[in-house]
Amino acid sequence: MRIAYQGEPGAFSEAAARKVDGEAQLVPCRSFEEVFDSVDAGPALYGVVPIENSIGGSIHRNYDLLLTHELTIVGEVELPVVHHLLALPGATLEGLKRVYSHPQGLAQCERFLHTLKGVEVIATYDTAGSAKMVADSGQTDAAAIASARAGDVFGLKPLASGIQDFSDNITRFLVIGRRPLKNAVADKTTIVFTVPNEPGALFKALSVFALRGVDLTKLESRPIPGRPWEYLFYADLAAARDTLTCSRALSHLAEFAPMLRTLGSYPSWKPSAAPVLPDPFEVVS
């Protein structure tokens, strides 16, 4: 099995892909678009993309890509994210001039970054890619925010560990593909829909789930290209699509929603054990 993910080896997306199948051949991609294309046309059977973080919020680009591709959500993975400040051997906190990371990584470590005076913060395409940039540069006044594995892969040492703003920093990833995962039993459904531009339209749409006791666990809005101030609504439902209550709710919604599409019905993530995370801002000696 081949699973595509965005980033370099050592990226958090790589770790999420390994949770899907530890024996799979992993396919690193430069961008989220490339992940979708790799599953759409090959060589990957599945792709793993982040959709939201408990600190940084939603990854909007992947919501947009779910709509523009005919791929199905077949699973999800929740990954505890522990960020490290990584640099070449010989580097010190006091000597840093630049810190690189993905915008989400920077947002998740905002409080720690404010403690670094006179340091330029630079956004890049990937956390592990930032570690590679620092390693390739050979400069000891640069550092990257990335995973411990990225440090091992690129020969960097941690100047500080657990630097995320909150210890319960979790990223939720979606698994996309054309066929269900093996032995998958769905208990969650993701849909996207529009509503007429009239008073009470969204309330009416959400009421189809409330009236039937279907738990709506997330609601996300995205603008509709070419139609200013009109929106798509993405919703996560804590029910399989083919259960009686969920199927009736969706049939009811379809009666008045101009557009309704099911993006996937899949097993929700069920962690086997709660992770133990380090204290924030622990400086490594």
**Distance (Å, rounded) from C-alpha 228 to C-alpha 244?**
36
Cβ-Cβ contacts under 8 Å for 263 (sequence gap 6 or more)? 66, 72, 73, 190, 191, 192, 234
In the annotation, is 281 catalytic?
Answer: no
The catalytic residue among 127, 171, 189, 194 is: 171
What whole-number distance in Å separates Cα of residue 191 and Cα of residue 260? 7
What is the number of helices (H) and of strands (E) in the chain? 9, 16
d(CA 68, CA 37): 11
Name the catalytic one among 12, 173, 193, 209. Answer: 173
Query: What phi and psi values does residue 225 have, to the nearest 5 degrees?
Result: -55, 135
Among 153, 97, 140, which residue's Cα sits nearest to residue 121? 97
Do strands 98-101 and 142-146 pair parallel, antiparallel, or not at all (unpaired)? Answer: parallel
CA 112, CA 106: separation in Å to the nearest integer?
A: 9
Q: Which of 99, 105, 100, 103 lies closest to 119 in space, CA to CA?
A: 99
- Cα 204–Cα 209–Cα 213 angle in degrees, nearest 5: 135
Query: Quick count: other Cβ atoms within 10 Å of Cβ 73?
Result: 21
Catalytic residue status for 245: no
Sign, CA dihedral 135-139-145-148, equals positive
**In Å, how far from its chain's centre is CA 207?**
28
Catalytic annotation, residues: 171, 173
